Structure 1
Amino acid sequence: MRIKRHKAVRKTLKFFHVNFGFREPYKVLVDGNFIHAVLATGNGDVEATLSKLLMGNVRAFTTRYTLHELHGMGKEYRATLEGARRLERHKCSYEGVTTAAECIKREVGEKNESHFFVATQDKDLQKYLSKSSVVPIIFKTVNGVSLQKPGSNLQNFVNRASEAKMGIQDYERGTRVMRELAGGEEAQQDQLVRKKKKKAKGPNPLSVRKKSAKGPERRRHNQEAQPAAQAEKPKRRRVRGKARAGAAGGGNDVE
C-alpha cells in the first residue's frame, strides 16, 4: 500500500513539475486545522512530515491570520499554536482579509505563480482551490498524509494546451513541407526551361545508315551475285602431255 502511495505522489509531483514548473524546495502554505491534525497523531514535526510525503526539501509557511485563529480557539489548541509558531511566517500581501482561508485563496490566486502547495483539512477550501487554481493540495487522513491528485478540470486544461501546441507544430510542419514541395516544382520547371533552350544537334549518323538486307532478300542478292562472279572469272586451259612433247621436238628441228 505504501509503495502504491509513493508512486501516486511521484506521478502527481511530475505532473505539476512538467506542466507548471513546481520544484524543490517545495513551498507549502499550512493552515491551523492541518497542523492540529498532524500533531494530534503524535507526529510532532509538521515540516518533517511534509518532507517525507513529498520526498524532498520543504519549506512550510503559516500566516498571521492562522496564528490569530489558533489563538482564539483556547487552551485546547495551545500546542497547535506553538507548532504553528515554529514555521516560517508568510506575509499576506492583501489588506482587509478576515480569515486564514481567505488569505490562502488570495495568495495562491488563479495561476499560483509562487508555486505554493496548500495543506488544509478545510473541505470547502480544498474544493475551491481544486476548481479555480493551479495548486497541489495536501490533507491528513487516518492512514497518513496524502497528496491530492490533479482535478479533472486541471487535466483537461493541460490536455487542451498540449493539443493546441501539437496543432501549431503540425501546421508549421505542413507549411514547411508545402514550401519544400513548391521549391521542388520550381526547380523542375527551371530544368524543363533549360532543356528547351538547348541547341538542336544534327541527326545521328548511325540512325541514317542504310539498312542491310535480311532474310530472303539477302539470299536472293547473294544468288544473283554468284553467276556474275563466275562469268568474269577466266578459265584455265589444260595442256596435255603430247602437245608438250610436240612443242619440244619442233624446237630441235630449228636448231
Structure 2
Amino acid sequence: MRIKRHKAVRKTLKFFHVNFGFREPYKVLVDGNFIHAVLATGNGDVEATLSKLLMGNVRAFTTRYTLHELHGMGKEYRATLEGARRLERHKCSYEGVTTAAECIKREVGEKNESHFFVATQDKDLQKYLSKSSVVPIIFKTVNGVSLQKPGSNLQNFVNRASEAKMGIQDYERGTRVMRELAGGEEAQQDQLVRKKKKKAKGPNPLSVRKKSAKGPERRRHNQEAQPAAQAEKPKRRRVRGKARAGAAG
C-alpha cells in the first residue's frame, strides 16, 4: 500500500513539475487545522512530515492570520499554536483579509506563480482551490498525509494546452515548408533571369586584327624572301687572268 501511495505521489509531482514548473524546495502554505491534525497523531514536526510525503526538501509556511485564529481557539489549541510558530511566517500581500483561508486564496491566486502547495483540512478551501487554481493540495487522513491528484479541470486544461501547442508546431512546420518551397521557386527564377542577361555578344573589333607571324613561320617567310632579293641584284662579270695580261701588253 505504501509503495502504491508513493507511486501516486511521484506521478502527481511529475505532473506539476512538467506542466507548471514546481520544483524543490517545495513551498507549502499550512493552515491551523492541518497542523492540529498532524500533531494530534503524535507527529511533532510538521515540516518533516511534509518532507517525507513529498520525498524532497520542503519549506513550510504559515501566516499571521493562521496564528491569530489558533490564538483565539483557547487552551485546546495551544500546542497547535506553538507548532505553527515554529514554521516560517509568510506575509500576506493583501490588506483587509479577515481569515486564514482568505489569505491563502489570495496568495495562491489563479496562476499560483509562487508555486505553493497548500496543506489544509478545510473541505471548502480544498474544493475552491482545486477548481480555481493551479495548486497541489495536501491533507491528513486516518492512513497518513496524502497529496491530492490533479482535478479533471486541471487535466483538461493541460490537454488543451498540449493540443494547442501541437497545432502551433504543425502550423509553424507547414509555414517553414512553404517558405522553403517559395524560396526554391525564387532561386529558379533568379537563375533564369541571369541566364537571359548573359546572351552571347559579337566579337570586339579591336580583337579581330590579323596576328603577326611568330617563331618558325616568320623564319620560313624570311628564307623565301631572300632568293627573290638576290635575283634582282646585277651579276658581276668575272675577269680571268689571261684577259688581264693582254690588256696590260
C-alpha change, 1:241 and 1:93, in structure 2 (3 Å) is: closer
Deviation at 1:71, TM superposition (A): 1.1
Distance, in Å, in 2 between the alignment partners of 1:37 and 1:13 is: 23
1:146-174 residue CA offsets vs partner (Å, 9 max, x unmatched): 00111111111111111111111111100
C-alpha change, 1:183 and 1:230, in structure 2 (3 Å) is: farther
Deviation at 1:50, TM superposition (A): 0.1
Deviation at 1:182, TM superposition (A): 2.6
C-alpha change, 1:177 and 1:235, in structure 2 (3 Å) is: farther
C-alpha change, 1:96 and 1:214, in structure 2 (3 Å) is: closer
- Give the match for residue 136 of structure 1: 136
When the two structures are superposed, what TM-score results if normalisation uses the length of structure 2?
A: 0.75
CA RMSD of aligned residues (A): 8.4
C-alpha change, 1:131 and 1:206, in structure 2 (3 Å) is: farther
Identical-pair percentage: 100
1:21-52 residue CA offsets vs partner (Å, 9 max, x unmatched): 11111110000100011011111110000000
Deviation at 1:184, TM superposition (A): 3.4
- Give the match for residue 195 of structure 1: 195
**What secondary structure is seen at the aligned counterpart in 1 of 2:9?**
helix
**What secondary structure is seen at the aligned counterpart in 2 of 1:5?**
helix
The count of residues paired between Structure 1 and Structure 2 equals: 248
Deviation at 1:183, TM superposition (A): 3.1
C-alpha change, 1:6 and 1:247, in structure 2 (3 Å) is: farther
C-alpha change, 1:10 and 1:221, in structure 2 (3 Å) is: farther
When the two structures are superposed, what TM-score results if normalisation uses the length of structure 1?
A: 0.73
1:206-226 residue CA offsets vs partner (Å, 9 max, x unmatched): 999999999999999999999
Deviation at 1:181, TM superposition (A): 2.3
**What secondary structure is seen at the aligned counterpart in 2 of 1:106?**
helix
Greater shift, 124-133 or 147-156, is seen at: 147-156
1:164-199 residue CA offsets vs partner (Å, 9 max, x unmatched): 111111111001111222333445566778899999
Which consecutive unaligned segments of at least 5 residues does structure 1 have? 249-255
Distance, in Å, in 2 between the alignment partners of 1:160 and 1:233 is: 115
Distance, in Å, in 2 between the alignment partners of 1:24 and 1:239 is: 135
Deviation at 1:53, TM superposition (A): 0.4
- Give the match for residue 3 of structure 1: 3
